[in-house]
Structure 1
Amino acid sequence: MSDSTVTEPEGRAQQTLPRTVTGEGEQGFLGRLRTPRRPRLWFEILLIAVSYWTYSLIRNAVPEQKAQALRNAGWIWKAEQRLGIAVEDSVNHAVNSVNWLIVGMNYYYATLHFVVTLGVLVWLYRSHPGRYAAARLALFATTGVALLGYYLFPLAPPRLMNGGRFVDTVTVHHTWGSMASGDLKHMSNQYAAMPSMHIGWSLWCGLTVFALASVPWARLLALLYPTATLLVIVATANHFWLDAVGGALCLTFGFTAVRLWYGALPYTLPRQPTGVSLLRSPAGAVSE
């Protein structure tokens, strides 16, 4: 994703630019926070590092309620059977029978979750600085609300369910992979499968690139990425289908938070920082 693959959606940005509100309220701290500014590299690196460290710390500090997590997994599995979508075990065994494919998926699961997300953040920082803060807020809010799911609904991944119906593909194929599997399992909470942040983050990446890239192949890859991620999390027995639904709901919360804070979705904001606050008028109207 280079600068040459991006065009400014001129018409859309001009039509959806929220109202600039003036007055004493806009001179305060809240108004400054809502003002699009050019992000600072040192601050963004520090913020992302500290935020991910905090997220990991809290996620792993959530009690590993094994018994409850296994009961919840059984409930999810039965619910999917009633819905007619409980085919995760079939997908897991089918893909596991193709050695090169499942090994590739193991590495996909372990690496692209971070690499692609960071790559999209860097691209936004360089090419869309006016939209960067709002898009970053959507990602952070999505991740933050997921912590509630880990605490309130401990869930064992399919590979840890009783009965041995699923294959833990990282363990079987001895690949370096999930922090919740193999030799690394003691470094991560294994019973925090709901919601799936692999889906939440990949959807955020896909929607961001699809909305802002102009080259057709980039937009196509943007749509394929969360689709491929869904297949990977199921094939590797790390998540149920419904975990993906949970991840999508968290992303919806993230975009709602941005809409409430900035008065617009990230992709409709100006590409370059405007230096003016973006606030909705009391009546919800938009004006220049």
Structure 2
Amino acid sequence: MSTETRPSRQGRLRPRWYLELAVIGAFYGIYSWVRNQFGSAAVSPSEAQANAELVIDWERSIGLYFERDLQDLFIGWVSFIQFWNLFYGLFHFAVTAITLIWLYYRFPRHYPFWRTTGLLTTGSALVGFALFPLMPPRLLSVGGTYGGDLPDTGYVDTVADLGGLWSFTSGAAEQLSNQYAAMPSLHFAWSLWCFLALRKHLTNPVAKWSLAAYPWLTLFAIVVTANHYWIDAVGGLGALGVGWAAAKGYHRLRDRR
């Protein structure tokens, strides 16, 4: 194939950008609305707390309840924690969006599959939010409208107490967010999605190692900020598996037709 024909063929493979933007925007808007009908909008704090106690008891039973100990190791390092608050609030969207855009322009043949995988992963998370509303560690002892009444668990809501881009428990964010959308963790699912979507396309060693580290850094961020239990990341892995399998089946059927 000559260099003159390659761009035009790439262009024919690439979906129209405005349609993609409309579909993704509409999907995420509907997803956000549905997500927020469950959890804190319809579930009492006592039910979300009871689910949290089940998670904690299970993690203790296998000797892997370490979330508070991990936070305690770093909570005195304010600047460090503020960075992870920023990481938690910003990278989740920014890296995912950059991955989508890069695939769209550089690898249009692979873009539709990974776009579909991401959308179906996100949609599948609604099942977890609806069936298992889960109070995150940062809310276990704070009381109030959405918080729990467990004896002091020692967790710090790092965004509220140490600073970040915004707080999920004040202002408009409190009213618009599902406070109990912890299981599964889409932060982890999307970070692993980014790794899988780009891993074959990077050649620079620094970029490859950074990409490989990104899901693990995300896991650290969601735990050290007390927004998730580590088991929520396992749920995110399951959601990604469902999204990947469903996208595989859909694109295989579409290709046959």
Which TM bucket (shorter chain)?
A: 0.7 to 0.9
Residue 175 of structure 1 and its aligned partner are, at CA, apart by 2.4
Q: Which residue of 1 aligns with 2:152?
A: 164
CA distance in 2, matches of 1:204, 1:191: 23
Higher relative contact order (CA 8 A, sep 6+): 1
Question: Does 1:139 find its partner at 2:118?
Answer: yes
CA distance in 2, matches of 1:186, 1:96: 28
Q: Structure 1 residues 77-86 or 159-168, which shifts more?
A: 159-168
Aligned pair partner of 2:58 in 56, 68, 79: 79
The correspondence of residues 75-224 of structure 1 with structure 2, limited to 5 A, is 75-161=54-140, 162-165=150-153, 166-178=155-167, 180-183=168-171, 184-224=173-213
Question: Does 1:279 find its partner at 2:256?
Answer: yes
Residue 37 of structure 1 and its aligned partner are, at CA, apart by 4.1
Query: Identity across aligned pairs (percent)?
Result: 38
| Structure 1 ranges of 4+ moved more than 3 A | none
Q: Which residue of 2 aligns with 1:48?
A: 24
Instruction: List gaps (5 residues or longer) in structure 2.
Output: 1-11, 141-149
What amino acid maps onto 1:240 in structure 2?
Answer: Y
CA distance in 1, matches of 2:175, 2:77: 28
Residue 176 of structure 1 and its aligned partner are, at CA, apart by 2.3
Greater CA radius of gyration, 1 or 2?
Answer: 1
Instruction: List gaps (5 residues or longer) in structure 1.
Output: 1-35, 265-276, 281-288
The size of the alignment, in residue pairs, is 232
What amino acid maps onto 2:152 in structure 1?
Answer: G
Check conservation: 2:39, 2:181, Cα contact below 8 A: no
CA distance in 2, matches of 1:138, 1:193: 20
Residues 172 and 63 of structure 1: is their aligned pair in 2 closer, same or farther, counting only changes over 3 Å? closer
SS in 1 for 2:120: helix
- C-alpha distance after superposition, 1:225-246 (max 9, x if no partner): 1110000000000000110000
- C-alpha distance after superposition, 1:109-166 (max 9, x if no partner): 1111000000000000000111111100100110001001100111000111122321
SS in 1 for 2:54: helix
Residue 221 of structure 1 and its aligned partner are, at CA, apart by 1.1
TM-score calculated relative to the size of structure 1:
0.77
Computed over aligned residues only, the root mean square deviation of the Cα atoms, in angstroms, reads 1.7
